[in-house]
Amino acid sequence: MSSTGYTKAEWKKINATLDKDPDKYGFPRRIYSTALLGSFNIRKIGSSRGRNAETWQFLARICKQYDLIAVQEIMDDLSGLKRIMEILGPDFGMVASDKTGVYPGANGLGERLGFIYRWSIVERGEVISDITYDRTKVLEIVAENYDAIHKVMASYSVKYKDYKAGNRKKPRNVKFPAFISFIRQPYCVSFRIKGFPGTKPYEFMAVNAHLFFGDFMSDRRQEFHALMQWIVERVKNNDKAYYPNFMLMGDLNLDFNNPVRDLATVRKSMKSYDRDGNDETNPDKQINVNFPFLDVHPAQAEVFRTNARLTETFDQIGMFFRDDSAQWPTYKDNDKMGNPADGADYGVFNFVQLFHDALGVDTPIDTMTTDQKKAFFSRFEHKVSDHMPLWLRLPLPVG
C-alpha cells in the first residue's frame, strides 16, 4: 500500500459507498428546522498542492454539511483552506486566526484556527478575539506555585545555558507544576444561528481550541482546566458579555483512551462547573455545562472515538450556557439524543470505516496486525486527516 493517498478511481468507490448509506458512517444529515455544528482537525491543512483534487473535494463535501464548523491545524499558508472555500462557493464564509504556537521567526509549528459557516443560517458577530490569561493572573499563579516553579526552572536554567553555549541539544519540555499560558491561543468568535422565519436564534461565543498534547499528561490537564475556568467565569459573569453563552469546539487532547477509568475523573471535574454544583448562593450565575461526547450515545455501545486510529476521544464539543430561551441540551438530555421528536443529536463521521469498506479491505480494523494497521492508516492519515469530524445537531426552537 502507498502513503501518497487515494487514486481517482479509489475516490470514486469511496464516494459511491458513502452515497449508498451515509447513515452507516455517521455522515451528518441536514434536517430542516435544525442547525449542524461541528469540529474537524484537518491534519496540517496548508498548501493547496499538498493534496490531490479528489481529496480536496472530499474535505469540502464534509464541510458543506455543516452550518458552522471549527477547523484546527490550519497552517500559515491559507491556500488549502481557500481551495475548500472555492469548492463550497459563495454560500459559505470563513474566518481564521493568525498563526499561534510559535514566536515569529523562531523554529516550530505554528497553527491557525478557523471557522467555516453557512451565510443563510449563521451570522458572524462583531466580537473576535484570542483567549489569554492576563499578566496579573499569571503573576498570581506564579506566586501561588513559586517554590515548585523555582525548583523546575533552576534545573532547566542550567541545561539552557549549556544549550546556548553549544554544549548540548536544546532542553526537552519542562514538566511545569502550574498553568502559565496556552500552547496555542484559543480563538473566540461570536456567532448567531438565525435559523428560519419564526425560529428563535442561538447566540454564543464559539471557542476553537487545539490544546497541548506534549510529553506530560499533567500539562494537558492544566491547559484544559485553565480554558474551562476561563469560559465558566466569563459565562457566570456575563452581564456585559456580547453573547451570554459559549461553545467550545476543538481538539482538546483529553486523556480518554479508557472510558471506564477516565470518565469518572473527567466527570468529577465537570460537575464542579455545572449548574448543579456551582455558586448555589447566586442562582443568576449558575450555568449549565454539557459535553455530550463524554457520554455513550443511545444508539452506540461505547463513547465515540474521534482519532482516526479509533483509540481516543481527543476532540470535543462543549456547551456553557445560562440562557434558557433557546433549546440548549443539558447533560441530562444526552441519553435521549437521536430522538426525532427532540431534534438534538450528535455523532462522528467515521470515514475510517468508510475507506475500509469502500476499498474492500478484508481484515476488520480491530483485528489487524500492527503492520496491517500501519499500511491501512498511512493511506489517509496525512492526506485526509488523523482525526474524524464531530457534529452536533441543535433544534431551532419556534418563536
Q: Own/partner pairs for 6-13, CB < 8 Å, 24+ apart?
A: 6/54, 6/55, 6/355, 6/359, 6/379, 6/380, 6/383, 8/52, 8/54, 10/358, 10/359, 11/54, 11/55, 11/57, 11/58, 13/358, 13/359
Domains of the chain, residue spans: 8-130+185-395, 134-178
Place of cell 440562557: 323
What does the pLDDT read at residue 195?
Answer: 76
Instruction: Please determine, for residue 268, whether its predicted confidence score (pLDDT) is greater than 70.
Output: no
What is the CATH architecture assignment of 8-130+185-395? 4-Layer Sandwich (3.60)
What does the pLDDT read at residue 276?
Answer: 53
Query: Cα separation of 326 and 342, whole Å?
Result: 13
Instruction: Please determine, for residue 346, whether its predicted confidence score (pLDDT) is greater than 50.
Output: yes
**pLDDT (tens digit per residue) in 127-146:** 999 999 999 999 999 999 99
DSSP state of 94: E
DSSP state of 304: P
Select from 301, 321, 303, 319 the least CA-distant residue to 311. Answer: 303
198: left (phi over 0), alpha (psi -120 to 50) or beta: left
Place of cell 458577530: 125
Are 1 and 376 in contact, with CB atoms under 8 Å apart?
A: yes
Question: Span 45-57, mean pLDDT?
Answer: 96
Query: Cα separation of 293 and 387, whole Å?
Result: 15
Query: Cα separation of 310 and 355, whole Å?
Result: 14
- φ, ψ of residue 360 in degrees (nearest 5): 65, 35
Confidence of residue 343 (pLDDT cuts 50, 70, 90): confident
- φ, ψ of residue 289 in degrees (nearest 5): -125, 130
What angle in degrees, to the nearest 10, is found between the helix axes of 8-20 and 351-358?
110
Instruction: Please determine, for residue 275, whether its predicted confidence score (pLDDT) is greater than 70.
Output: no
- Which whole-number Å values give the CA distances from 317 to 107, 139, 248, 250, 344, in the listed order? 31, 31, 6, 7, 14
Residues 6+ apart with CB under 8 A from 103: none
- The pairing of beta strand 315-321 with beta strand 112-118: unpaired
What does the pLDDT read at residue 241?
Answer: 79
What does the pLDDT read at residue 308?
Answer: 95
What does the pLDDT read at residue 2?
Answer: 46
- Does this model's pTM top 0.85? My answer is yes
Query: Cα separation of 220 and 100, whole Å?
Result: 17
Picking from 109-113, 114-118, 266-270, 377-381, which range would have the lowest pLDDT averaged per residue?
266-270
Lookup: cell for 253: 487532547
Confidence of residue 42 (pLDDT cuts 50, 70, 90): very high
Output b/e per residue, 72-98; b: 16+ Cβ within 10 A.
Answer: bbbbebbebbebbbebbeeebebebbe
CA dihedral 252, 125, 343, 89 (to 10 degrees): -90
Confidence of residue 107 (pLDDT cuts 50, 70, 90): confident
**pLDDT (tens digit per residue) in 308-336:** 999 999 999 999 998 665 578 988 889 98
Confidence of residue 88 (pLDDT cuts 50, 70, 90): very high
Query: Cα separation of 354 and 176, whole Å?
Result: 41
Output b/e per residue, 270-298; b: 16+ Cβ within 10 A.
Answer: beebbbeebeeeeeebbbbbbbbbbbebe
Lookup: cell for 99: 498563526
Query: Cα separation of 53 and 44, whole Å?
Result: 16
Question: Span 24-36, mean pLDDT?
Answer: 93
**pLDDT (tens digit per residue) in 356-392:** 999 999 999 999 999 999 999 999 999 999 999 999 9
Query: Cα separation of 293 and 291, whole Å?
Result: 6
Lookup: cell for 393: 445537531
Query: Cα separation of 226 and 90, whole Å?
Result: 37
Select from 199, 173, 152 the least CA-distant residue to 395. Answer: 199
Exposed, middle or buried: residue 349 (CB in 10 Å: 0-12, 13-18, 19+)? buried
